[in-house]
Structure 1
Amino acid sequence: MQWEQLLSLKRQGDTSKRLRKEQDDTRLGFEVDYDRIIFSAAFRSLQDKTQVIPLSKTDFVHNRLTHSLEVSVVGRSLGRLVGKQIIEKYPHLKEVHGYQANDFGAIVAAAALSHDIGNPPFGHSGEKAIGEYFKNGNGLQYKDQLTDKEWQDLIDFEGNANGFSVLSTSRTGIEGGLRISYATLGAFMKYPKESLPKKPTSKICDKKYGFFQQDKDAFVEVANELGLIPNKSGNDIGFERHPLTFLVEAADDICYTIIDFEDGINLGWIAEEHALEYLIKLVKNGIDIKKYNELTTKEDRISYLRALAIGSLINDAVTVFMENEKAILAGEFPFSLMDKSQFNAQMNDIIQISIKNVYQSKEVLHKEVMGYKVLNSLLDNFCSATNRKENDTATNYDELLLRLLPERFQVQKENLYERLLHICHFISLLTDGKAVELFNTIQVNKN
């Protein structure tokens, strides 16, 4: 892979090439990507979507929006630090093409900002709930009418693939979704493959999938424009990762490891002494013990350790990236950056504490149970109604139910797969609160 191709400013529908040296630096294309994402309805909905702690109104607990903003900030730092070294290593990128170190930061920041934009309500359990409806619930009735890959899209519903749809899918009057640059789309694509074959290798890029069958052509166009390396054969589609994807992933890994831990401590679910015990291993070379001992509140002490820990992990991730940059460009680095971090063991220790005290807490389990019930009901009602309408057997109740759909979702799709995925997409973009409100409306009407 070549950096000048990987940094493409092209957007869907472009008829002429966008050259970096012709860009207005006061309104750089990669920064436009960031703006379009942050002003999108899908991004705004993240303010009422669970990160870990369910439906929390506590000031210091993160939701998907605050998590995404923080991942973006960390991603920007990673991108700029890597970009500085890449420009030094390949000076023609600046001298001939006009790229700057901050371009890398802008790309990674935008991709990181959108990394959870396709996640459904109720956290990762929401993805599982959608898949379970088709795999084991009433949605099983549709299996024989779909291809294997279409069916896999549904039973293994994936927020990353849904995010690609949010960012790129055209609808009437809106070509190319948010029309963000292919460089940012490429950096966003953590798992550049289709849903089958499932986990064909142990490579990090094959861990999950990154696009639905309906978005296959758009995905391939982006991958080809960027010069990503194909790694599947026959009728299967898959590519090696865009190099900057490793930085987006590292930013997410760093934030959820440290900040979920911080949330657990601030909630009192993890003892404060664990913070020093586990974080000191990450910050021992940078901590000012005198300053730490002068901090009088738990929140300030944890905040200080968190900032130092994130800084240590950022610097280490940059080192790992640059040491392996040649292998990454060749598609021969099958790991995440943090897998090869000198702090990998310490991060895993922190995650294990968070799993025990936060992810498996009663509050989180209650949220997941509720999420399954809510999403199963919504899927059953809306999938049934939209298919009966297609078959001209819709009841008056079905018609009323479908009028609850936002205007842009009140369109009939041509085939069963697209209809089912359309409903999944609608439900995935609901906030936690809106999903519960819709569920309650339906249950009241049923009773």
Structure 2
Amino acid sequence: MNWEQLLSLKRFGDTNKRLRKEQNETRLGFEVDYDRIIFSSAFRSLQDKTQVIPLSKTDFVHTRLTHSLEVSVVGRSLGRLAGQKILEKHPQLEKTHAYKMNDFGAIVAAAALAHDIGNPPFGHSGEKAIGEYFSHGNGKRFKDELSAKEYQDLVKFEGNANGFKILTQNKPGISGGLRLSYATLGAFIKYPKESLPHKPTTNIADKKFGFFQTEKEIFEEVATELGLLKTGKNGDISYYRHPLAFLVEAADDICYTIIDFEDGINLGLIDEDYALEYLIKLVKDNINTSKYNSLTNTADRLSYLRALAINTLITEAVETFLENEDSILAGNFHHGLLDKSKYEAQIDDIIKISIEKIYQSEEVISKEIAGYKMLSHLLDTYTEALLPEEDQYDSNFNQLVLKSVPNLAGLQEKSGVYKRLLEICSHTASLTDGFTVASFEKYKGIKL
């Protein structure tokens, strides 16, 4: 892979090539990507989607929106630091094509801003609820009407693939979704493969999948334009990652490792003194002991250690990226950047505590159970309305449901089974935590 192709400014539907040296410096194409994402309704909905605890009423716990903004800030720093060194190593990028350090930061920041845009309500349990509806629930009745890859898209419903769908799907009057630059789309795609074969290798890019069958044509167009390296065999679609996807992933890993941990402390789920000890272990090589000891309360100490931990991991992630740049461009680097961290043991300790004390806390589990049942009921309601069993075609209730969800009603006569089911899943995934509760109560007749 080469940086000239990887930094493509092309957008869906372009007929002429976009050149970096012809860009308006006051509003670069990569910065336009950021603007389009942040003004999208899909991004705004993240303000009421779970990051740590579903339906949390506290004002200091992160939502998907605040998490995404922070990941974007970290991603911008990662991109700029890496970009500065890449331009020094490949001077023709600046001299011939006019790329700047900030271009790398803008691409990573935009992709990082969108990294959770396709996630369902109730966190990763929402993904599992949708998938298990088709593998173990009433949705299993559609298996014989779908191809193997179509069925896999549903039973392993993936927020990353749904995010790519949101960013690129055609809608009436809107071709190409948000029409982001292909460089930003490439950096967004952590798993550049289709749903089958499932985990074919130990390469981190094969851990999940990055697009549904409905978006495979636009995905291949993006991959070809960027010059991504093919890995798929026997007609299966799979590629090596865009190099900047490693930086987007690192930004996410840094934020959820440190900031979810901080949320756990603020919620009282993790003992403060115990937590500070683990953060100190992570930053012990960079801590200013006299400054730290001058801080008189736990909140200030926690804030100092959090900032220092994030900065420490940013610096090391960039170093790892640059040390392995040639290998990454050749498609021979198969790990997350933090997996190669000298602080791996400390990171693992923090994540283990977060899993035990936060993600598996009674409050989280109770709300995820409730969310699981609500999502299953909504999927039942929507599938019965759009794809009713033979004795339910004239159901007045189903007609009322379709009237309440106009974007699904339009699919009734025009689409095949797979597209209708996928649109049901995508619609369900678009709901906020609060709207999921309200919809459940409405369809159950609990609340008007």
Which TM-score tier does this pair reach, normalised by the shorter chain? over 0.9
Q: Is the 8 A contact 1:134 1:154 kept in 2?
A: yes
1:383, CA displacement in angstroms? 0.9
Q: Is the 8 A contact 2:75 2:247 kept in 1?
A: yes
**Whole-Å separation in 2 of the counterparts to 1:58 and 1:154:** 34
- Give the TM-score, by structure 1 length: 0.98
1:154 corresponding residue in structure 2:
154
- Structure 2 letter corresponding to 1:420: L
Q: Is the 8 A contact 2:386 2:409 kept in 1?
A: no
SS in 2 for 1:278: helix
1:330 corresponding residue in structure 2:
330
Aligned: 1:107 with 2:93: no
- Alignment RMSD, CA only? 1.6
| 1:177-192 → structure 2 map (5 Å cutoff) | 177-192=177-192
Q: Deviation per CA, 1:116-164: give whole Å up to 9, x if none.
A: 0000000000000000100000000000000000000000000000000
- Structure 1 letter corresponding to 2:50: T
Q: Percent identity?
A: 66
**Whole-Å separation in 2 of the counterparts to 1:230 and 1:333:** 14
**Whole-Å separation in 1 of the counterparts to 2:347 and 2:112:** 20
Q: Is the 8 A contact 2:408 2:424 kept in 1?
A: no
1:409, CA displacement in angstroms? 6.4
SS in 2 for 1:211: coil
**Whole-Å separation in 2 of the counterparts to 1:306 and 1:361:** 22
- Structure 2 letter corresponding to 1:211: F
Q: Is the 8 A contact 1:388 1:394 kept in 2?
A: no
Q: Is the 8 A contact 2:138 2:380 kept in 1?
A: yes
Q: Is the 8 A contact 1:403 1:410 kept in 2?
A: no
1:77 corresponding residue in structure 2:
77
1:225, CA displacement in angstroms? 0.4
Q: Which runs of 5+ in 1 are unaligned?
A: none
Q: Which deviates further from its counterpart, 290-299 or 30-39? A: 290-299
Instruction: Say if 1:391 and 1:72 are closer, same or farther in 2 by CA, change over 3 A.
Output: farther
2:344 corresponding residue in structure 1:
344
Aligned: 1:417 with 2:418: yes
Q: Is the 8 A contact 2:411 2:420 kept in 1?
A: no
**Whole-Å separation in 2 of the counterparts to 1:96 and 1:360:** 53
**Whole-Å separation in 2 of the counterparts to 1:157 and 1:202:** 20
Q: Is the 8 A contact 1:385 1:394 kept in 2?
A: no
| 1:34-433 → structure 2 map (5 Å cutoff) | 34-388=34-388, 393-407=393-407, 410-412=410-412, 413-433=414-434
Q: Is the 8 A contact 2:402 2:408 kept in 1?
A: no
- Structure 1 letter corresponding to 2:53: I
**Whole-Å separation in 2 of the counterparts to 1:138 and 1:327:** 46
**Whole-Å separation in 1 of the counterparts to 2:390 and 2:411:** 11
- Structure 2 letter corresponding to 1:6: L
2:436 corresponding residue in structure 1:
435
Q: Which deviates further from its counterpart, 223-232 or 296-305? A: 296-305
- Structure 2 letter corresponding to 1:301: R
**Whole-Å separation in 2 of the counterparts to 1:391 and 1:172:** 32
Q: Is the 8 A contact 1:259 1:306 kept in 2?
A: yes
**Whole-Å separation in 2 of the counterparts to 1:154 and 1:43:** 23
Aligned: 1:25 with 2:15: no
Report the count of equivalent residues: 447
1:445, CA displacement in angstroms? 6.8
**Whole-Å separation in 2 of the counterparts to 1:267 and 1:378:** 31
- Structure 2 letter corresponding to 1:100: K
SS in 1 for 2:445: helix
Q: Deviation per CA, 1:82-141: give whole Å up to 9, x if none.
A: 000000000000000010010000000000000000000000000000001000000000
**Whole-Å separation in 1 of the counterparts to 2:183 and 2:238:** 17
SS in 2 for 1:244: helix
- Structure 1 letter corresponding to 2:208: K
- Structure 1 letter corresponding to 2:304: Y
**Whole-Å separation in 2 of the counterparts to 1:20 and 1:394:** 57
> Runs ≥4 in structure 1, deviation > 4 angstroms?
389-392, 406-409
Instruction: Say if 1:363 and 1:445 are closer, same or farther in 2 by CA, change over 3 A.
Output: closer
**Whole-Å separation in 2 of the counterparts to 1:107 and 1:391:** 52
- Structure 1 letter corresponding to 2:420: R
Q: Which deviates further from its counterpart, 124-133 or 386-395? A: 386-395
